[in-house]
Amino acid sequence: FQLNQDKTNFDTLRNIQGLHAPLKLQMEFRAVKQVQRLPFLHSSNLALDTLRGNDGSIGFEDILNDPSQSEIMGEPHMMMEYKLGLL
């Protein structure tokens, strides 16, 4: 759903403001997606929600607990070594 909504928004933005506007917004999306927390912490992607305009809305995932946001945390040292390819 989100991909189709983004495509529609980019098409509308391109028709209204020209080619530069959706390209700039897509570059900002890619830059924001690359910023992550350490592997043992869940990233909320607040900056991405802000760019999409979803920061002010409450959805299904906000009400019911998302399994990725559980309080179980892995061993930080092992997770970093795995991400860096040391294990």
Q: Domain count of the chain?
A: 1
In whole angstroms, give the CA distance from residue 80 to residue 58: 33
pLDDT tens for the chain, 87 residues long, are 888 988 999 999 999 999 999 999 999 999 998 888 877 777 778 888 898 888 888 877 777 766 666 666 678 888 888 888 887
Quickly count: other Cβ atoms within 10 Å of residue 22's Cβ.
19
Helices (DSSP H) in 1-87: which residue ranges?
Answer: 2-17, 20-34, 46-52, 60-63, 76-84
pLDDT at 67: 64
Integer CA distances (angstroms), 22 to 13, 19, 25, 34, in order: 6, 6, 5, 19
Domain limits for position 75:
1-84
In whole angstroms, give the CA distance from residue 62 to residue 83: 28
At 55, the amino acid letter reads: D
pTM, rounded to two decimals:
0.64
pLDDT at 35: 84
